[in-house]
Amino acid sequence: MVLVKSLAAKPWVWSFVGALVVWLATIAFTGGHGAGGMVTAALSLAVFTVIVGVGQMFVITLGPGNVDLSLPANIGLASAVAMKVMAGSDAMIVVGLLAALACGAAIGAVNYLLIWALRIPPIIATLSASFIIQSIDISYGRGLQIKPPPGFADFTNWQILGIPVLAILTVLFTIGAAIALQRMIYGRSVLAIGQNIRAAWLAGVNVGRIRFLTYTLSGALGGIDGALLAGYFRGANVDIGNEYLLASIAVVVIGGTSVAGGKANVPGVWGAALFLVLLLTMLNTFGVSAGVRLLLTGLIIVGVITAAGGEKAVR
C-alpha cells in the first residue's frame, strides 16, 4: 500500500498509466489482435519524440518563456544534410550522423545567440530562426531523392525479440540525461536557473553559458533525430519534423516537467511519448478523423498545463 502511494505521488507515473489505459482500450476494441505489434510500433515511433522531448525538457526547465520552436525546421534540414553526406553509402553513415549532429548544434547555438544579442524572448527568436532554417532547407533539400544507406535503414528498423534497438539505445540515453540532470553540475545549474535565475547567478552559476549549452543541446538532439527519422522512413523530407513541434512540448508537459521551470522529469517524457503514440493508434482504430485527433490532443495538453499551473499556484 505504501509503495502504491509512493508511486502515485510521482508525476511521471500517470503518463505511463495513461498509456496503459489507452493500450488496453485499443486491444479490447480489436479483441486482443495485434497487442504485441502495437507495443513494438509504439516504441519505434516514441523514440523520435523522446529524443527531441529531452532536449525541449532541458530548455523549458530553464524557466518561463524558454522553448525551442525551431525543432521541426531543424529536423527537416538535418535529415537532408545527413542523407546528402551519407550519399547512400554505408561507409559514410558515421560521417552523416556527425554532420546532422553538427547542423543541429549550430542551429541551437544560433538560437541562443539571437536571444542574447537581440534581447528578444526565446519564443520569438526560435520561431524566427525556424523560418530561416525552412528557407535553407527548401533550397537545399527540396526534391532530394537520396535514400539512406541500406545498413543505416536496417539499423533504424532493427529489433531484438520484438524490441526496437533504437528504443533500447534511447532508454540508455535518457538514463544518462536523468543522471546529468540530478548528479552533474550542468544539470543542477539548469534546475537552479529555472527555480530562480537571480539566485542562481548570485550562487556563482554562469547563467549565460548554461543557457547557451542547453539551447545547443536541444538543437543537437533535433539534428540527430532528423538523421534517424530519414533512416527510419527511408529518405529525407522538408516536412519530416512538422509534428514534433507540438509533440516535443506535449511530452514535456504531460510527463510532469513544470512549465514554470526548475522541475524536470525524464521518465515522464517516455510515458508521455508512449501515451501520445498509443492515443493516436487508438483514435485511428476507432476511425476518428484527423481534426478530432488534433482537438483531443490539444485539450489534453491544455488540461495538463492548467493542472500544473494550479499546483504551482498552491505552492
Q: What tens-digit pLDDT sequence spans the chain (315 residues)?
A: 544 555 555 666 778 888 888 888 888 877 777 777 888 888 999 999 999 999 999 999 999 889 999 999 999 999 999 999 999 999 999 999 999 999 999 999 999 999 999 899 999 999 999 999 989 888 876 666 778 999 999 999 999 988 999 999 999 999 999 999 999 999 999 999 999 999 999 999 999 999 999 999 999 999 999 999 999 998 888 889 888 988 899 899 888 888 888 889 999 999 999 988 888 888 887 777 777 877 877 777 676 656 554 444 333
Note the pLDDT of residue 80.
92
Q: What span, in angstroms and rounded, lies between the C-alpha atoms of 305 and 94? A: 39
Residue 141 is predicted with a pLDDT of: 66
Alpha-carbon distances of 140 from 84, 123, 132, 214, 224, rounded to whole Å: 10, 25, 12, 27, 18
**What is the reported pLDDT for 235?**
86
The pLDDT value given to residue 313: 39
Give the predicted TM-score (pTM) of the model.
0.89
Contact between 105 and 216 (Cβ < 8 Å): yes
| β-strand pairing of 159-160 with 163-164 | antiparallel
Q: Is 265 helix (H, G, I), strand (E, B) or coil?
A: coil
Q: Quick one: pLDDT at residue 179?
A: 95
- Residues near 91 by beta carbon (within 8 Å), at least 6 away in sequence: none
Going from the C-alpha of 154 to that of each of 1, 159, 233, the distances in angstroms are 45, 10, 11
Query: How far is the C-alpha of 313 from the C-alpha of 126, rounded, in Å?
Result: 28
